[in-house]
Structure 1
Amino acid sequence: MRITSLQPGEIFVFGSNANGHHGAGAAAQAQRDFGAVWGEGHGLHGESYAIDTMSGLDVMGREIDTFVEFAETRPDLTFLVTEIGCGIAGYTPADVAPLFPRVPLNVRLPESFVRELDPRR
């Protein structure tokens, strides 16, 4: 599902590089449509949340852990996670989904990640 607009309280979660150069894909959309800031490759900006997906799976895993901890502190927001890492970064949902071993109720994972985490779906 491609996210083209947000409801109040929704946050677009996208893959970035560490330098926050949002030149293509979901990162460019985040900057264009949802308040991502050029030069900011981590965290909440406007109606978007950047996760570094270009510095390796270990870094991405730590970034996801930080994101999940942040989402837990913001139950007033709903976080719509795109297929982070599955575009320019070159990973597959099978690579990235296990980096989300738990998510709070206010985090919505893409269907491809949900299928990897629960093949019965």
Structure 2
Amino acid sequence: MDGPWFHQDRTAPPDNEDWIWVFGSNTAGRHGKGAAEVAKLQFGAQYGVGVGRTGDSYAIPTKYEAEDRSLRVLSMDHVRGHIQDFLDYAHAHPNLRFFVTRVGCELARHGDREVAPLFAKAPANCSFANEWREFIVAPRRAPSPRPL
């Protein structure tokens, strides 16, 4: 692997390969909708665990449980910290492969342009939705001209 991989959004990794499903969660670990529900049903995400790895999944919180038990969107500063924690984990585990969903871009309603660049320093063992390609892969620049 020499750089990040990309996949079609709203797909799952091939059955014949081991991947860790990376999804947007809430701090309460209520995995009831979207990629979080897929994590619970297919990748062993443990109900009640909203941060980090359980089973073949890794939860990145994008929402928190308020005092009235409603779920509210975390600030980008908080999300950024959780994404950095994931990146540290992915770098520390080069033997694992991570299938990263569009964390925070659906139910938490953050934009791809806002979230995807936070993954720009991801290791080569990560795969991202095609929608994030332009934000993760730095465009190649033409070499600077030099006088002849």
With structure 1 as the length reference, what TM-score do the two structures score? Answer: 0.91
Give the structure 2 partner of residue 64 of structure 1.
83
Task: Choose between structure 1 and 2: higher strand proportion.
Answer: 2
Give the direction of change, closer, same or farther, for the CA distance of 1:23–1:116 in structure 2 (3 Å limit): same
* Residue of structure 2 aligned with 1:84, choices 99, 103, 122: 103
SS at the partner of 2:90? helix
d(CA) in 1 for partners of 2:96 and 2:114?
26
Task: Choose between structure 1 and 2: higher helix proportion.
Answer: 1
SS at the partner of 1:75? coil
Which structure has the greater CA radius of gyration? Answer: 2
Tell me if the contact between 1:94 and 1:116 (Cα under 8 Å) persists in the aligned partners: yes
Indicate yes or no: 2:30 matched with 1:21: yes
d(CA) in 2 for partners of 1:62 and 1:26?
20
Give the structure 1 partner of residue 58 of structure 2.
49
Structure 1 runs not aligned, ≥5 long: none
| Higher relative contact order, chain-length normalized (CA < 8 Å, sep 6+) | 2
Give the structure 2 partner of residue 40 of structure 1.
49
Moved over 2 A (4+): 4-9, 116-121
RMSD: 1.8
Give the direction of change, closer, same or farther, for the CA distance of 1:18–1:3 in structure 2 (3 Å limit): same
Give the direction of change, closer, same or farther, for the CA distance of 1:20–1:5 in structure 2 (3 Å limit): farther
d(CA) in 2 for partners of 1:5 and 1:118?
23
Tell me if the contact between 1:12 and 1:79 (Cα under 8 Å) persists in the aligned partners: yes
Q: Percent identity?
A: 37
Count of residue pairs the alignment pairs up: 121
Structure 2 runs not aligned, ≥5 long: 1-7, 64-73, 141-148
With structure 2 as the length reference, what TM-score do the two structures score? Answer: 0.75
